[in-house]
Amino acid sequence: MMLRMLSLGIASLAALAGCGSQQVGYQITDRNHSLSVTREQQYPGSDWANHVIVTRFPECQRRYKLKDSTSDSFKLDVYLVEPQVYILNHAKRWYIAETKACQWQQYDEPPPEPGTLVGTFQTKGDQLTWIDKAEKKGE
């Protein structure tokens, strides 16, 4: 009986290993001025709930929903339009994030010129990472 309970406990831990949460940030000036992405999965095989957090402390911090992901892979390109204004591209959706007041809006149509690519939030292996444009050139 004890061996059966131990086996069930180990199986339960193994099943939970596939779910969880991930977070990574892009520091614009420091940790108080940033764009971050969080991903949360309720259970193995479920969709990932994706969010962008726009932060400029102490003035503001807001969390905005992105489209859920059905796979473990994720990619969000970040473009700088002007100081404190960013355009983000996730799949076929385009967003604008403004860090002065932590505002957010989805575009109806893709922008004609999204700005200068700053970097990309993406999964590498099973981890969410930030890849700076300068680092991407070296790949």
pLDDT digits (tens, 9 = 90+) for 109-137: 989 889 999 999 999 988 999 999 876 55
Q: Which helix (H) or strand (E) holds 4?
A: helix 2-16
Contact 34, 25 (CB under 8 A): yes
- Residues ≥6 apart with Cβ < 8 Å to 13: none
Task: Give the position of tokens 């991903």.
Answer: 39
Q: Could you give the CA distance from residue 44 to residue 132 in angstroms, rounded to a whole number?
A: 30
* Residues listed for the chain: 139
Q: In terms of pLDDT, which residue wins out, 43 or 13?
A: 43
19: pLDDT confidence band, cut at 50, 70 and 90?
Answer: low
Contact 50, 68 (CB under 8 A): yes
Q: In terms of pLDDT, which residue wins out, 27 or 2?
A: 27
The pTM of the full predicted model, rounded to 2 decimals, is 0.81
Residue 52: is it exposed, middle or buried by C-beta count within 10 angstroms (0-12/13-18/19+)? buried
pLDDT at residue 8 above 90? no
- Region 16-25: mean pLDDT is 75
Q: Could you give the CA distance from residue 37 to residue 27 in angstroms, rounded to a whole number?
A: 12
Instruction: Give the pLDDT of residue 134.
Output: 72
Instruction: Give the pLDDT of residue 85.
Output: 96
Please give the radius of gyration of the chain, using alpha carbons only, rounded to the nearest integer.
18
